[in-house]
Structure 1
Amino acid sequence: MTSELMRVLVVDDSRIFRGVLEEALAGCSDLKVVGSVWSGEKALEFAKQSLPDFVTLDIEMPGLGGLATLRALRALAADKNKSLGVLLVSSHTRRGAAVTIEGLQEGAFDFLTKPEGPNQQANLAALREQLSAKLAAYRSRRGSRNAAPQVATAVPVAASVPRKSRFSAVVIGASTGGPEALARLLPSVAPYCPVPMFLVQHLPPDFTGYFSTSLARRCGSAVVEAQDGMIAQPKHLYVAPGGRHLVLHSTDSRLVMKLSDTPPENGCRPAVDVLFRSAALACNGQVLAVVLTGMGNDGAKGSVVMKRAGAHVIVQDEATSVVWGMPGSTMAAGAAHEVLPVDEIGTAILSHLGLRR
């Protein structure tokens, strides 16, 4: 890992919140706030003169908005062949949720929501905790990458007539970096998948509905937020709602979804481990599991259960993961059958399902 201080640029149209962010960042080691600006235009001016390593970016600003600023910053970093992390700063609004999802799919490293509690000191502590965890994850990634990753887009292609496959469902788990990975992976898989697919992507409750709608638009197929009692259908992707675990049950040879408010696992609800354990049981091990980029180790224990039950587990490789926490811990647990770049996972899924692209 580099020993140099990470250079951080703060971008927010609120002078007060810029100050709050700077104060929170002052409590984080190994970084230096090198600039604090109030607009996307000013952020680009700064970055053209001296590209920072990391940017906290308000996504709802007048003038050049957050998404346009994100795209321009990433293009600038790519031109300079440099790595740039962008952390989206979002509000708890409908507009904030929708734009955040789009930004994550376009390559933002991660996001945080502005604390809105009545106690300013508690808000500052919560913000500092969020920043510390996300910056630590980015630093670990930065240490193993020197250049900006190439951005690729998955192109849907026709699949052949299916051969017989033993798998009755596909389950996917993702966290940090997941929206971008899924936007690349799913358009080439979801329209052709002959079995139901289930997804846990770590997101807050207000975000998963917009996330499902965005995936449906990108895939051109049925992507819906899971509901309690819903019966799974082929060629459908079901997204676990934020704040609730997604549990699968087998009833009369049909997969039925249940939503649970049991305590978080691995600090997460929904948790990948909960979905994976239930799928292993409900499908009698006839499951294809995929663990994508993400912070932490959610999915590792569930993948061990999957493998013992007879499931097949694919994990995303380190080189194409934003954070290799979840895939890496799954591999370390001995639960991975395959370790693949994100752009090869779609081909592998279809092949295991008896389809050839």
Structure 2
Amino acid sequence: MAKIKVIVVDDSAVVRQVNRETLARASDIEVIAVCPDPVAALEKMRQQWPDVIVTDIEMPRMDGIAFLKKIMAERPTPTVVCSSLTQEGAATTMEALAAGALAIITKPALGVKQFLQDAGNDIVAAVRAAARANMGHVRTQARPRLAVDAVLAAKNPAGTGSSAMHDTTDKVVAIGTSTGGTQALEAVLTQLPRTSTGIVVVQHMPEKFTALFAQRLNSLCAMEVREAQDGDRVLPGRVLIAPGGRHMLLQRSGAQYLVQVRDGPVVNRHKPSVDVLFRSVAQVAGRNALGIIMTGMGDDGAHGMKEMHNAGALTVAEDESTCVVFGMPKVAIEMGGVAKVVPLDRIAQEIIAYGR
């Protein structure tokens, strides 16, 4: 099979060297060029176009945002952003995601070489996932269920036990997504009216990025969108985004739903984890919930969606035709936890119909 052709763009010689060496060790990846800035990269790309671009954002001659916008306008290409884990870096990287970048690899201000060497597997995995991405929809076998038990123990699902679990008119929509999810969530949430059912979301994203992501969505949506804090109510017209680096669980207080935000072990390589959220929704909301799993690499959320389905919740997966990466929805469908499969442009309609 043909190797994945990658161009690395970074003004740091150390980063270029480490990323080249890391990717070159993967037998299915070929680094065709390393460039100190986007202008040099574009010259190389005119000679040989890459399958995946790995790029920094803050660079000389042309900033990474302008570079991304140019690429996505002319020839959309899967792009992984390697960005600084700072408040300023997070703000810029959110612009990159909005411009079409698929994934974020964060790097510290100090000790970058050691960090990138330690994060080699993550970089390779991100490139492989990006190479499989369906860029036509990017806009300007399952592992055993064990990891989630460390955060939230399995119980009899709501709906198979006491009917008291359902003595409320409150409903909740739970959404899980990963690679390609920032654009997909924007496409869905901007279509929803202000009075839509309360929504809880896990989007795989590093710490410091989720607050800015929520702020961006809040500026675009009729619904209130914010990064979740422990004890926040799930209310009509409100979207709560799980904070990066912490899990989010649904809880019940009387007839009301609220969220618990807490630390814990990484689940399915992620924190926050979709499986953790979905399992909690299955346990406390049961048939009062709608679960939606969208574009993403891996299988996080598939087991939790099956538990929601078993508890009587309505469950929906994004169709392969619109997924950037058809990983998480595919596994959820194969496990039998999905009642309906719809393309991205119909997911908002499912949420509106459910609220009625």
> Normalised by the shorter chain, which TM-score bucket?
0.7 to 0.9
CA pair 152-38 structure 1, distance change in 2 beyond 3 A = closer
CA pair 274-116 structure 1, distance change in 2 beyond 3 A = same
Query: Which of 74, 78, 88 pairs up with 2:72?
Result: 74
CA pair 10-249 structure 1, distance change in 2 beyond 3 A = same
Look up the match of 1:22: 20
Deviation at 1:166, TM superposition (A): 7.2
Query: Which of 66, 83, 90 pairs up with 1:90?
Result: 83
Deviation at 1:221, TM superposition (A): 3.0
Matched, 1:186 2:179: no
Amino acid at match of 2:184: A
Paired residues of 1:105 and 1:181 also in contact (CA < 8 A): no
Deviation at 1:90, TM superposition (A): 0.5
CA pair 30-329 structure 1, distance change in 2 beyond 3 A = same
Amino acid at match of 1:249: Q
CA pair 31-267 structure 1, distance change in 2 beyond 3 A = closer
Distance (whole Å) between structure 1 residues aligned to residue 28 and residue 283 of structure 2: 45
Paired residues of 1:27 and 1:128 also in contact (CA < 8 A): no
> Which runs of structure 2 are paired with 1:93-112 in the superposition (5 Å)?
93-112=86-105
Matched, 1:149 2:136: yes
Look up the match of 1:125: 117
Matched, 1:174 2:177: yes
Look up the match of 2:147: none
Amino acid at match of 2:5: R
CA pair 97-124 structure 1, distance change in 2 beyond 3 A = closer
Look up the match of 2:341: 339
Distance (whole Å) between structure 2 residues aligned to residue 303 and residue 351 of structure 1: 20
Look up the match of 2:126: 134
Deviation at 1:63, TM superposition (A): 3.1
SS in 2 for 1:302: helix
TM-score for both structures, normalised by structure 2: 0.86
Deviation at 1:16, TM superposition (A): 2.3
Distance (whole Å) between structure 1 residues aligned to residue 324 and residue 137 of structure 2: 12
Amino acid at match of 2:178: S
Deviation at 1:351, TM superposition (A): 1.8
CA pair 303-167 structure 1, distance change in 2 beyond 3 A = farther
Look up the match of 2:4: 6
SS in 1 for 2:80: strand
TM-score for both structures, normalised by structure 1: 0.86
Question: What is the percent sequence identity of the aligned residues?
Answer: 37
Paired residues of 1:246 and 1:260 also in contact (CA < 8 A): yes
Look up the match of 2:151: none
Q: Deviations over 1:174-206 (max 9, x none)?
A: 11111011111110026341x211000111111
Moved more, 290-299 or 124-133: 124-133
Paired residues of 2:174 and 2:291 also in contact (CA < 8 A): yes
Deviation at 1:343, TM superposition (A): 1.3
Distance (whole Å) between structure 2 residues aligned to residue 314 and residue 166 of structure 1: 21
Paired residues of 2:4 and 2:29 also in contact (CA < 8 A): yes
Moved more, 62-71 or 328-337: 62-71
Look up the match of 1:262: 264
Paired residues of 1:59 and 1:100 also in contact (CA < 8 A): yes
Paired residues of 2:175 and 2:292 also in contact (CA < 8 A): yes
Look up the match of 1:162: none
Look up the match of 1:65: 63
Amino acid at match of 1:259: V
Paired residues of 2:209 and 2:244 also in contact (CA < 8 A): yes
Deviation at 1:33, TM superposition (A): 1.5
Paired residues of 1:115 and 1:126 also in contact (CA < 8 A): no
Paired residues of 2:138 and 2:180 also in contact (CA < 8 A): no
CA pair 226-34 structure 1, distance change in 2 beyond 3 A = same
Paired residues of 1:48 and 1:76 also in contact (CA < 8 A): no
Q: Deviations over 1:59-90 (max 9, x none)?
A: 11133211110111122215xxxxx2111110
Distance (whole Å) between structure 1 residues aligned to residue 304 and residue 352 of structure 2: 22
Amino acid at match of 1:149: G
Look up the match of 2:305: 303
Distance (whole Å) between structure 1 residues aligned to residue 28 and residue 284 of structure 2: 47
Moved more, 328-337 or 7-16: 7-16
Deviation at 1:232, TM superposition (A): 2.2
Distance (whole Å) between structure 2 residues aligned to residue 251 and residue 167 of structure 1: 11
CA pair 349-206 structure 1, distance change in 2 beyond 3 A = same
CA pair 248-131 structure 1, distance change in 2 beyond 3 A = same
Q: Deviations over 1:245-279 (max 9, x none)?
A: 11111112111211122322212211111111212
Number of corresponding residues = 329
> Which runs of structure 2 are paired with 1:194-209 in the superposition (5 Å)?
195-209=197-211
Amino acid at match of 1:131: I
Aligned Cα root-mean-square deviation (Å): 2.1
Distance (whole Å) between structure 2 residues aligned to residue 20 and residue 66 of structure 1: 20
